[in-house]
């Protein structure tokens, strides 16, 4: 293969890698919270439910709740799997099943 053919293959490989990298979901941060009234309502409902739950630790009550496009992402650290599950259930009650990504980490 000549030099021009190798260059074309290199460019094609680069473009393929770039396309697959952009298809990977970017990490959600609190800055991704939507200003849409429905998303704000969902976040508020989840936060109120979490704050009223006396079984949750202070750490769990400080979990990040990010809603965009009616899809909720939970982030943070909790001391038990039970609290992670409880946060997920609270979020699903407000956002609906299948609309919650529970990225809570458990660290005892």
Each domain of the chain, given as residue ranges in start order, spans 27-106
Q: What integer is the mean pLDDT of 18-44? A: 75
Note the pLDDT of residue 36. 86
Query: Which residue did the predictor score with more confidence, 108 or 40?
Result: 40
CATH assignment, 27-106: 3.30.70
pTM: 0.73
Q: Are 54 and 83 in contact (CB under 8 A)?
A: no
When pLDDT is cut at 50, 70 and 90, the band that residue 1 belongs to is: low
Q: How many CB atoms lie within 10 A of CB 52?
A: 10
The helix (H) or strand (E) run that includes residue 20 is helix 3-23
- What is the spatial distance between Cα 21 and Cα 14, in angstroms, rounded to a whole number? 11
Structure confidence by residue, pLDDT tens digits, 41-69:
999 999 999 999 999 999 999 999 999 99
**pLDDT score recorded for residue 54:** 94
Alpha-carbon 33 to chain mean position: 10
């Amino acid at each position: 293969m000549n030099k021009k053919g190798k260059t074309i293959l290199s460019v094609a490989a680069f473009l393929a890698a770039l396309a697959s990298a952009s298809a990977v979901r970017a990490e959600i941060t609190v800055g991704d919270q939507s200003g849409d009234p429905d998303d704000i309502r969902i976040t508020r409902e989840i936060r109120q439910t979490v704050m009223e739950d006396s079984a949750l630790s202070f750490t769990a009550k400080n979990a990040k709740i990010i809603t965009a496009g009616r899809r909720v992402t939970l982030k943070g650290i909790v001391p038990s799997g039970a609290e992670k599950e409880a946060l997920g259930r609270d979020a699903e009650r407000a956002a609906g099943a299948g609309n919650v990504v529970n990225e809570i980490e458990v660290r005892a």
